[in-house]
Structure 1
Amino acid sequence: MSDVKAAQEAAPLDLLDERLRKGEGIRPVLTGIWDRIRSGDLGALPIVLGLVVIAVVFQSLNSVFLSSANLVNLLMESASVGIIALGVVCVLLVGQIDLSVGSVSGLAAALTAVTFVREGWPLPLSMAAAIGAGAVIGWLYAQMVTRLGVPSFVATLAGLLSFLGLQLWLLGDTGAINLPFDSDLVHFAQLAFVPEWLSYLLVVVAAGWLFATGYGLARTRRAAGLSARSTTLLVARSASVLAGLGFAAWYLNRARGVGWLFVSFVALVLVLNYALTRTSWGRSVFAVGGNAEAARRAGINVGRVYTSVFVLCSSLAALGGMVAAARLAAANQSSGGGDINLNAIAAAVIGGTSLFGGRGSAFAALLGILVIQSISNGLTLLDLDSSFRFIITGLVLAVAVMLDSVARRSRVAHGRAA
């Protein structure tokens, strides 16, 4: 037994291992991070550095950019497209694509306005009908892909055109329907902010939850004889989150505060992140995205996984469309149009979700939309033409895809070397 234990302790840790056993100090942590970077696992590092560069550049050009009032607006404007991007992340993780999220969001906005304003339905029923329509659309896409073998690119491109036409038909000759300013939906999207005391309480809960989940995972890993993060490191991580989020809440509270809309978006990110990382469904999603045939032979119902991600994507697109309409207090012919479709897909990719499937996280939608919205906001403050926004966003997207391709080749080469 002693020989076996000595062999286990001498064995090199796997790349997927946390490399953070108790008592090993900070050096193994840094070594593990450096090894992951060398193997092509860049994580959120490029996007975080990109956000820092964007903030420094725009703040140097216009001192209003990092003001609390501007950051409040930036976060609120990020929520609607961010919610749509969250659904796109799910589809990309299985190596598919949905080009119709913009049209689906516009259709949901029109459907909500028609049923709520014209038909007099209760608001919850109108919202449920819009999200339900999105779920049905996602189910139809999944049947086309899994049963008929239609490429998702073609299926969703057809949906983009069809649902845009349906949206215009619903809106009728007027082409626009105003949502009442005193409705709960509009108030939530425009004027609902977290009380200052509650914002700090949420920060404390977030830091405590991070420590509790990390500590529970560490105990489980130790019980299984695996390496785990030390308690000291978990405390330091939670304290850093507490300080960072606490400062952010204090700074935003100098203006209007933290919007409930953005808090809801972050809550959706956390829920999806939990589903992707801690459930059998999430493991199935990554398995199908990594190799669909291998996942099928392992007993995973690939068709069911495809159906779930397409339904989730279209449902979130519908929810994002309703939020966007509430922000504008109207649904019109341009709802879901313009660059919303491309921005949602770009946000998912820029945030770190691989176009090749199998790699990414729910936080990709959050990070990606913050990059895109920061660029848009900064250029607006500089009073520059919108053409610059498209050019810069396109360049950032190209860089993100190139980094993903290089990282993918690096992982393959590293795996062969190992």
Structure 2
Amino acid sequence: MTKRHDAAGGVSRREYLAATGLLGGSALAGCTTTTRQPAAVNVQPANVDEEPTSTPTRGYTAPPQEVDLAAQNDEVTLRTRHVRHAVHPEETMGGPIEFPLVWAFQADDREPSVPGPILRAREGAEVKVTLDNTEGHAPHTLHFHGSRKAWKDDGVPSTTGITVMPGEKHTYTIPANVPGTHLYHCHFQTHRHIDMGMYGVFRVDPKGYERPDREHFLTVKEWDSRLPRMMAGEDVEFDPRNRRPDVFTVNGKSAPRTLHPEDGSPIVVKQGDRVRLHLVNAGYMSHPMHLHNHRLTLVERDGGVIPEVARYQMDVTNVAPAQRHTVEFVADADPGIYPMHCHKVDHVMNGSFYPGGMLGGVVYEEAMDTDIFRELMEYAGAR
């Protein structure tokens, strides 16, 4: 029987904090994130193909939300937004880390996020995705992996002749005809626009899909922080031919913020749960993802189902750029807290501080009422 499933963490914030003892009568009002409020910035144009925003103040991104497309007539509008992005806002474990400017997608009236919203469809649907760039500052397009679509809907401006300019809208028809977990992203000046945050997950549930006890979407990415800083008007230079990643994220956050109950994406389980993880690589480097003390089975790659006869257990799966690996495991370990991280160990750092970066974790509910878990929550900013 399915117990709960979502993109962010599997339990509510109240359940999460109640288990740690951080939630009480006097603590309830203080259980907010410590993300700093937007500050005024003076933006000057950068010497690149696209000019940064002239808006003097910006809000912050929110965590990616799942959009059930079937519940809204298989239609969604993605707006382009210029916002700030708090990767790890605490002064702990190598923080704070913040991008002064990202280009985020906003689904309908939800909040903008990096990664963008998780667009979830059912096999056989015909999805209408409107890219609303009416308040944008640069040209954009949308390209969807994992869909056999009409030529004009491929989203590549140089081969389709379609570019959504600032002040314009365009609707793409995306058939949900390849079941599985996929990626979407802007395909205008792709080398910059993905690196500014314009990417997200496109999920197509096959007919008769049975959800597991727990299900999570985890998008990993490495960043060169010079690009968002340059686009925000700072006096730095970025060369895509000399890209030097220095920030490493899971769902847009670096550890320990990845374990935050609202802002992060902890994998919360109970003993015996069947867990399904959709790992998506939106970066430009391969990331070998390793889960401690559990055995993973790769069941799907880029929407292709792995035949049962070809499946085997492992604890590392190497996800190449733009690849999607769906893995499953049973929560049958000694109840505790177990890291899941990139095994390029320099990717598990915040600057020179270790551990941090591209590190999340499996948290057993049975282990949440422990001193070490409460300490981790303090580091993550869950007060």
Q: Which TM-score bucket, shorter chain as reference?
A: under 0.3
Q: Output the TM-score relative to the length of structure 2.
A: 0.22
Larger Rg: 1 or 2? 1
Higher helix share: 1
Higher strand share: 2
Q: Answer 1 or 2: higher relative contact order, Cα 8 Å, separation at least 6.
A: 1
Q: Output the TM-score relative to the length of structure 1.
A: 0.21
